[in-house]
Structure 1
Amino acid sequence: MANELYPVFLKVHQFDTLIIGGGEVGLEKLTFLLKSSPSAKITLVGQSIKDEIKKLAAQHGSVRLFERGYFNEDLTGMQIVIAATENNETNDAIYKEAKRRDILVNVADTPELCDFYMGSIVNKGDLKIAISTNGKSPTVAKRLKEVLNNVLPEEIDDLLQNMRLIRDSLKSNFGEKVKKLNQITESLVSKNKTQSQ
């Protein structure tokens, strides 16, 4: 079966996100979102909320916690929903209600109930690389993340900042800019090819 995923990078801080579940899975999803987008607007609802979640929320003013059961009304005004309870029936009900309201939904560890996956992310300054295995193996994605983190130098962000300055200084039209920037960056690929031979 073909991989139908289309990768995008969302400006999550511009969306209202709901995480339902205050346990270990909820903590994982909250941590993942805040690592990528520290100012993400997140509401987390959980019957019981782990202390680690409370500590993390205290460090991020954009996170609201409600220690109580989930209600369908919690979905009102949300654009992204992550169902992270440990109850399959509850997760299934959240999925159905989110779909009824046309809200993007991710049900943790249930690929068939996901509009999107939360892949592994490599982050080096402004460089961000997302890795997905189409829901097949988050463990493989995690290992690939480790490899890329080790291979990519920390100085890659300096290169990105310099390339932006070069791009901004070019006075030609878009096509000419692309051609010039391709010539400049071609040496990066050719050096790596030479070193690997």
Structure 2
Amino acid sequence: MSEHVSNLLFPVFLQLNQLRTLLVGGGNVALEKLAALLGNSPDAAIKIVAKEISAAVRDFTRGYPSVILHERVFEDADLEGVDVVFVAADNAELNAHIRNESRRRHLLINIADKPDLCDFYLGSVVKKGNLKLGISTNGKSPTIAKRIKEILNEALPEEIDETLTYMGQLRDLLKGDFTDKVRTLNAHTASLLASQEKK
């Protein structure tokens, strides 16, 4: 392994609509997690467990029938039948307990504001239709990640989704192996760029 590699994160996009998610916590931090999860995967099945669930969380989840609220203390049994765990509880002892129990069950876990206890992080996301870009600074600066997101949101035209749709249709029509398809798509992309530059 290279000594120069300092960011060992592996980028991945989860199909949360096909997984079962547990969120422990019902306050402002839980609301932030929910906004990120449901903003990207509106059909995600999420079970929320918290001793107290805020009115803001209740209001936010009202339009999402796949989100179930349980206003009670967390129980180890809540981890059964779950694929991914998010913890947004301001309780160090509970955080450590849920992490240990999740690890024992081989569940991926994210604990808000505790990078050392996380198996994965949530990055900033740029969305333009079918195009989705994830941005991570390896935990060094969420502010920079947010700024890069703003820059990309402004720079990428809304029409990019239409272009992706056409390129997908073209790819489906192409014959030959992967290399042939890539060559043809590259040629079409180059001609498209050339026509734009002439304008």
Q: TM-score range by the shorter chain?
A: over 0.9
Q: CA RMSD in A?
A: 1.9
Q: Shift of residue 185 of structure 1?
A: 2.0
Matched, 1:56 2:23: no
Aligned equivalent of 1:132, options 110, 124, 136: 136
User: Which whole-Å CA distance do the structure 2 matches of 1:176 and 1:92 have between them?
Assistant: 52
Q: Shift of residue 9 of structure 1?
A: 0.8
* DSSP-derived class of the 1:167 partner: helix
Aligned equivalent of 2:10, options 6, 11, 19: 6
Query: Match of 1:110, as an amino acid?
Result: K
* DSSP-derived class of the 2:171 partner: helix
Change (3 A) 1:178 1:58: same
User: Which whole-Å CA distance do the structure 1 matches of 2:25 and 2:8 have between them?
Assistant: 28
Identical positions, percent: 49
Task: State the Cα deviation string for residues 28-72 of structure 1 (Å, max 9, x = none).
Answer: 001110000000010011111111211222100100000111111
Matched, 1:88 2:72: no
Structure 2 portions without partners, runs of 5+: none
Change (3 A) 1:190 1:142: farther
Matched, 1:75 2:79: yes
Matched, 1:101 2:115: no
Task: State the Cα deviation string for residues 116-153 of structure 1 (Å, max 9, x = none).
Answer: 10111000000000001112222211111111101100
Aligned equivalent of 1:182, options 178, 181, 186: 186
Alignment: residue pair count: 194
Structure 1 residues 154-165: aligned runs within 5 Å:
154-165=158-169
Change (3 A) 1:62 1:91: same
User: Which whole-Å CA distance do the structure 2 matches of 1:117 and 1:187 have between them?
Assistant: 39
Structure 1 portions without partners, runs of 5+: none
2:28 aligns to what?
A: 24
Change (3 A) 1:141 1:189: farther
Query: TM-score under structure 2 normalisation?
Result: 0.92
User: Which whole-Å CA distance do the structure 2 matches of 1:133 and 1:127 have between them?
Assistant: 20
Q: Shift of residue 189 of structure 1?
A: 6.8
Task: State the Cα deviation string for residues 81-116 of structure 1 (Å, max 9, x = none).
Answer: 011101122111111111111100001111111111
Q: Shift of residue 188 of structure 1?
A: 6.4
- Runs of at least 4 residues off by over 4 Å: 187-192
Change (3 A) 1:108 1:187: farther
